[in-house]
A and B are shown apart, each in its own frame.
Chain A
Amino acid sequence: MKRSNEPIFWSLFGAGGMLAALIGPALVFITGIAVPFGFVFSPDTMSYAHMLAFSQSWAGKVFVLAVIALFLWHAAHRIHILLHDFGVHAVTAVRVLCYGGAFAGTVIAAYTLLMIKA
């Protein structure tokens, strides 16, 4: 029997799921409700200047990358499995689309973050 390579995708899926469960709702609340409506946070919390400063620090870069990349890998794996369960078996095409998309998103996010100079 050949050892499966699924652990790679499953681990990214698991990490993304964990992160989403831990901070997903809080992020939606902060970025989608609290900041725009100006409660708890001031409305300019997410202004360009603030966000630029945030992503100039290494901690900020890592945070943004983790949120974007792991969420993408989580979604990619979920969609892949869902399609499989619903009987879409163009396995290679589905894999390339799902995981390729997540990979591309990760690379673009990482590149963009690296390009933001202090």
Chain B
Amino acid sequence: MAENEKIIEIEVLRYRPEQDKEPVLQTYKVPFTDDMSVLQGLQYIKDYLDGTVSFRWSCRMAICGSCGMMIDGKPKLSCKTFLRDYYPGGLRVEALAHLPIERDLVVDATDFVTKLESIKPYIIPKEPRALEQGEYLQTPQQRDMYEQFSSCINCMLCYAACPQYGLNPKFTGPGILALMHRYNADSRDGGQAERNELGYADEGYWGCTAVGYCSEVCPKGVDPANAINQNKMNSAINYFTRFVTPGGAGK
């Protein structure tokens, strides 16, 4: 470590199911340099101070989406957040809000993954297509309809931000509804009717009360609140026109 190294206090929310009845805070003094992320601070703790601290990470560059945690109460990627921004004060890191803690900063993502699978997050062709017919063509305008929503890295920060998901975990939630829109809005896709059965339910778009914090915390510039709002409009139009448009009735 360099001569001019500084020390910052990191409070970590610990939960070891075999010994803790409920989560407890533990403080570590961590030497750091200005280029160190919060994730690197945690790695320092694990390597030099306390090998029992558990947290997820992989890419260290805001791409894999595994290092999300509450940093001073805000959902953030720990690899994209810097210790220097909290100095000379300290910081507190906790497991993502609204999700069950598995151990320390590791949350159980089962609910998210199950929901993600349920929306068929892949292109469902409008009609069967033979190889000879070649590739699908798409104009830049058509691509713009969904592009930002395809940037989601499944980090679940928006789930920790969403008060509706916190109140009622049956709500599909911001990130997955944004991904649903990503496929529905793709000109190559024909799966809207299948997906919107969930979208048009209370657990779908209508579980949202337009708080908008999801869009604020997203590290990839996805705007789930916007995706949901657009679809509330579609859903409302469908609600009132379903009996006069062919095939609009659904369930």
Once A1-B203, A1-B204 are accepted as A-B contacts, the answer to whether A7 and B235 lie under 8 Å apart by CB is yes
In Å, the complex CA distance between A6 and B203 comes to 11
Shortest Cβ distance from residue A6 to the other chain B in the assembled complex, whole angstroms: 4
Task: Tell me if B122 counts as interface (CB < 8 A to partner A).
Answer: no
A1 and B163 within 8 A (CB): no
Once A1-B204, A2-B202 are accepted as A-B contacts, the answer to whether A7 and B239 lie under 8 Å apart by CB is yes
- Chain B residues 195-251 with CB under 8 Å of chain A are 197-198, 200-204, 206, 209-211, 232, 235-236, 239-240, 250-251
Please indicate which of the listed interface residues A2, A7, A10, A81 has the most CB atoms of chain B within 10 Å of its own CB.
A7
A4 and B209 within 8 A (CB): no
A81 and B204 within 8 A (CB): no
Shortest Cβ distance from residue B50 to the other chain A in the assembled complex, whole angstroms: 36
Q: Quick one: closest A residue to B211, CB to CB? A: A85
- Chain A residues 31-77 with CB under 8 Å of chain B are none
Once A7-B236, A10-B232 are accepted as A-B contacts, the answer to whether A84 and B201 lie under 8 Å apart by CB is no
Q: Is the interface of A mostly helix, strand, loop or mixed?
A: helix
In Å, the complex CA distance between A113 and B203 comes to 40
Once A6-B206, A7-B240, A85-B211 are accepted as A-B contacts, the answer to whether A1 and B235 lie under 8 Å apart by CB is no
- Chain B residues 145-181 with CB under 8 Å of chain A are 163, 167
Shortest Cβ distance from residue B216 to the other chain A in the assembled complex, whole angstroms: 16
Shortest Cβ distance from residue A46 to the other chain B in the assembled complex, whole angstroms: 36
Task: Tell me if A11 counts as interface (CB < 8 A to partner B).
Answer: yes
Shortest Cβ distance from residue B229 to the other chain A in the assembled complex, whole angstroms: 10
In Å, the complex CA distance between A15 and B167 comes to 28
User: Which residues of chain B are within 8 angstroms of A117 by Cβ–Cβ distance?
Assistant: none
User: Which residues of chain A are within 8 angstroms of B211 by Cβ–Cβ distance?
Assistant: 85
User: Which residues of chain A are within 8 angstroms of B167 by Cβ–Cβ distance?
Assistant: 84, 87, 89
B239 and A3 within 8 A (CB): yes
Contact of B201 among A3, A8, A11, A14 (CB under 8 A): A3
Shortest Cβ distance from residue A10 to the other chain B in the assembled complex, whole angstroms: 6
Q: Quick one: closest A residue to B197, CB to CB? A: A1
Shortest Cβ distance from residue B161 to the other chain A in the assembled complex, whole angstroms: 13
A residues near B (Cβ < 8 Å) are 1-4, 6-8, 10-11, 14, 81, 84-85, 87, 89
What are the nearest 7 A-B pairs in CB distance?
A: A7-B239, A1-B201, A7-B236, A6-B206, A4-B206, A81-B209, A4-B202
Pick 15 A–B contacts, CB within 8 A, sort by A. Answer: A1-B197, A1-B203, A1-B251, A3-B200, A3-B201, A3-B239, A4-B202, A6-B206, A7-B206, A7-B236, A7-B239, A10-B206, A10-B236, A84-B209, A89-B167
